[in-house]
């Protein structure tokens, strides 16, 4: 039995969900994944943390393929947070190098799968070579329409909200915006990627059960699903378990249940 088979899944319980016919699944338009557990994956195998990050990056390709199988249109992954700069300099350097390598290596496969690449986060604060990769990946994939892969890099949900407030405050200061005209819809239209629908489902592997400053505004009504499986081992079985759980949720958005 593999380590994946032995792992437990849950949001409310640790029991494995019975299998279900794929035709019965309710497929979300947009899922977001916190790619967590790379370091622990490496430690369990007595490997350097860099090996875990590399395995995690490789698994992103698998995630995209699996999501494509289900027809999911948007996939956002939490790759590097604004808080990750506090990690050892050597690890940050490794993550930056891996970022560049990933898009150089896998772009032909992303092209073949019809996957458009976009980035969300404080991209302008990144080193010049990383910004160049972001621009190249976005420009070179604009024509792809099967799926959009959104990479949250140097991303923090609170920073996104603060920067949106700063943007609107400057317009108020300039006299081009009346404060009383600011609505939730206007605020949302000034976030990093206002044209992307909010995530229906946020998934976090690794056993941690928090969202860690990820999509704070956009994820206000997202369904949450957690797994004990470490990110490099997160595969089709785990994704299917998440979709089964999502299918059984009653998304009320503050209203009454459809059964009431």
Per DSSP, 232 falls in state: G
Q: How far is CA 13 from CA 10, 219, 225, in A?
A: 5, 22, 11
Query: What φ, ψ does residue 179 adopt, rounded to 5°?
Result: -55, -35
Respond yes or no: is residue 84 known to be catalytic. yes
- Looking at the DSSP bridge assignments, the partners of residue 80 are 153
Helices (H) and strands (E) in the chain, counts: 8, 7
107 tagged catalytic? no
List C-alpha distances in Å: 81 to 77, 135, 223, 237, 254: 11, 19, 21, 27, 30
Please provide the DSSP assignment of 146-204 as one string.
SEEEEEEEEE-HHHHHHHHHHHHHHHHHHTS--GGG--HHHHHTTSSSTTSPPPSEEEE
C-alpha–C-alpha distance, residues 178 and 225, integer Å: 40
Catalytic pick among 4, 58, 84, 122: 84
Question: Could you identify the residue written with the tokens 């494509």?
Answer: 68
Among 4, 5, 21, 36, the one annotated catalytic: 36
Q: Are strands 115-120 and 74-81 parallel, antiparallel or unpaired?
A: unpaired
- Give catalytic residue positions: 36, 84
């Amino acid at each position: 039995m593999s380590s994946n088979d032995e792992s437990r899944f849950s949001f409310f319980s640790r029991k494995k969900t019975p299998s279900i016919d794929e035709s019965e699944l309710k497929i979300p338009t947009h899922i977001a994944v916190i790619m967590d557990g790379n370091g622990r994956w490496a430690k369990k195998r007595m490997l350097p943390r860099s090996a875990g990050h590399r395995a995690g990056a490789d698994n992103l390709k698998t995630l995209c393929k699996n999501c494509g199988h289900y027809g999911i249109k948007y996939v956002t992954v939490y790759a590097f947070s604004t808080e990750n700069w506090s990690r050892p300099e050597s690890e940050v350097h490794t993550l930056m190098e891996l970022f560049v390598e990933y898009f150089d290596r896998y772009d032909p496969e992303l092209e073949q799968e019809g996957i458009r690449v976009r980035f969300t986060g404080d991209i302008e604060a990144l080193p010049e070579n990383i910004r160049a990769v972001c621009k190249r990946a976005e420009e070179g994939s604009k024509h792809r329409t099967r799926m959009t892969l959104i990479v949250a890099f140097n991303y923090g949900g609170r920073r996104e909200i603060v920067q949106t407030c700063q943007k609107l405050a400057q317009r108020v200061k300039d006299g081009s915006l009346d404060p009383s005209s600011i609505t939730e819809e206007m605020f949302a239209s000034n976030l990093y990627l206002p044209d992307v629908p909010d995530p229906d489902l946020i998934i976090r592997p690794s056993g941690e059960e928090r969202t860690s400053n990820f999509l704070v505004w956009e994820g206000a009504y997202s369904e949450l699903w957690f797994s004990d499986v470490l990110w490099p081992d997160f595969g089709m079985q785990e994704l299917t378990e998440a979709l089964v759980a999502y299918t059984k949720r009653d998304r009320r958005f503050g209203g009454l249940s459809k059964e009431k």
